Amino acid sequence: MTTPVYATSPNKTIKSVANFMSKQGVSHLPVIDSNEELVGIITKHDVLRAFSQKFHGMFKVSDFMLDNPTIVSPTHSIFYVIDVLLQSSAGKVVVVSDGKPLGIITKSDVLQPLLNINVYIRSFSSSSKTLRSLCEVFKSNTVLIASDVMTTDPIIVPHNEDLAKAADIMVKNRVGCLPVVNSKGTLVGLVVKDSIIKALRGMKTESS
């Protein structure tokens, strides 16, 4: 289990919850009442929903998007993608071609292929685990590329879109990020859940 367990109370504002989530590095919080009874749980998804309903017209996507998002090409090997993913602060990479976003890859997208590789290796008897045998396995079964594992046709938003609208799109489509493009359709940024958290943290007062 994860310890310590952080919690919040029912009377906390969305801004204070966003601040606390960011400070503690958590994506959900149990909600405890004055009698120390569990009455619910609030997640980043809930924070996004509240933001999308209450803060229309306050920010543009470009105000809080991640600039210069991590990118790979459709033909990059899965091993290169994994290396880039491990260095990405967002835990996601955008697959681009000629500057246009084609797909999204997250850590979960590469997990199953990695498990498959492990299964292939384990299937060999100890006597056959020679370098040549393993090389043949990798050549014939595991040389996947970015286009094989990416989520295709990502939902994109223009850089001048209302941030609350972007949050609404993320909530309704249950996605964790949105590639941001300019007027030419070229990738210029990435909106993630933490973009919304950052917007809330920077607000001096909460309108409702």
Closest alpha carbon to 19 in 190, 195, 202, 207: 202
Domain tally for the chain?
Answer: 2
Quick one: 19 and 95 in the same domain? no
Range of the domain at 19: 14-54
Residue 8, classified by CB atoms within 10 Å of its CB into exposed (0-12), middle (13-18) or buried (19+), is middle
Q: What is the pLDDT along the chain (208 residues), one digit of tens a residue?
A: 667 789 999 999 999 999 999 888 899 999 999 998 999 999 999 999 999 999 999 999 999 999 989 999 999 998 899 889 888 888 899 999 999 999 999 988 887 766 665 554 555 544 444 545 545 555 555 578 999 999 999 999 999 999 999 999 999 999 999 999 999 999 999 999 999 999 998 776 544 4
Determine which helix (DSSP H) or strand (DSSP E) holds 95, and give its type and residue range: strand 92-97
Quick one: 44 and 98 in the same domain? no
**Whole-model pTM?**
0.79
Quick one: 194 and 155 in the same domain? yes
Residue 134 lies in a domain: no
Residue 33 lies in a domain: yes
Which residues, at least 6 apart from 7, have a Cβ–Cβ distance to it below 8 Å? 29, 30, 31, 32
pLDDT digits over 175-207, tens only? 999 999 999 999 999 999 999 999 998 776 544
Residue 156 lies in a domain: yes
Distances (CA, A) of 22 to 8, 58, 63, 130, 193: 13, 21, 18, 48, 11
Quick one: 43 and 99 in the same domain? no
Quick one: 95 and 171 in the same domain? yes
- Write the CATH number for 167: 3.10.580.10
Q: Which residue's structure tokens are 């590789």?
A: 117
Length of the chain: 208
Quick one: 66 and 49 in the same domain? no
Residue 166 lies in a domain: yes
Residue 116 lies in a domain: no
